[in-house]
Structure 1
Amino acid sequence: MKKRVYHWQPELSTTIIYWSCTFGILFLSLILMLEHTRPYLVSNIVLGVFFFFALLGLNRYFILKDDQLIIHALLPIRRKKIKVQTIEAIFVGPKSIKIISSEFKEGSQLYIMTKKTKVAFISQIETMLLDHVLIHEDPNQKAGKQ
């Protein structure tokens, strides 16, 4: 099976805070560039910090391998390997999916995904599970915690 990567973002409030701070660094770099008429070392360093955080923020993804769901998160502490058999249900909303598993501290996790990525992820996990997991369509599911 081809290794496929499915990108995700955390629930809405965390995503907004992270990307607001990241773009704040970009705007600070642009302001520093306006202060000087030639290339300025400090503004270039701050621009490099922005690119670092932007790449770090895009480094969140799922990988489905054999019988595991690998959740690659921003911090190494939050990265998880979940056995597919422990997933009890998946709720699919318009902009997000909610995975219910006994391996999560809170019992479930919410992930924001694009429509195309979400459809590809659900179709691959359905072929892996073969009726083990209940996948529910939930049009009322929000992108943030209720």
Structure 2
Amino acid sequence: MTTPPAAGSTSLPRSAARALLGAFMTLAGVGHLTFQRRAFQAQVPTWLPVNKDAVVLGSGAVEIAFGLAMLSGARRRQVGLALAAFFVAIFPGNVSQYVSRQSAFGLDTDRKRLIRLFFQPVLVAWALWSTGALTGERGARRGRAH
């Protein structure tokens, strides 16, 4: 009789969701550095006292690192927690885009920009769920080893 997998990120749906999010993050990061650089600048809050391009380039590099980390599957829980925190940290940029009515990524109406705000919690949940960050996977794995 086989033991069911721990309530962590080793199931096929979680692994697939983690890989999809990793690919999405990698592509978004590359976009920051290349073909969507200007569009991402529209999300940098005007009140942030930093060069917009520097923020976009830096966040692009971070997104590529997160994407590759998600794809590698190493240290899943830690990566999931850090990525969720990153999504929370960049949320003010999404709010700023809505408040300042900046059009980017096809978000050219207030309604579209508002709807987009509700997807950030989905990304947070996706990062946490797909990596098993909140399931206590480490403890479950330890318990099986004994």
**TM-score, normalised relative to structure 2:** 0.30
* Structure with the higher strand share, 1 or 2: 1
**Higher RCO structure, 1 or 2 (CA under 8 Å, sep 6+):** 2
Computing the radius of gyration from Cα coordinates, the structure with the larger value is 1
* Structure with the higher helix share, 1 or 2: 2
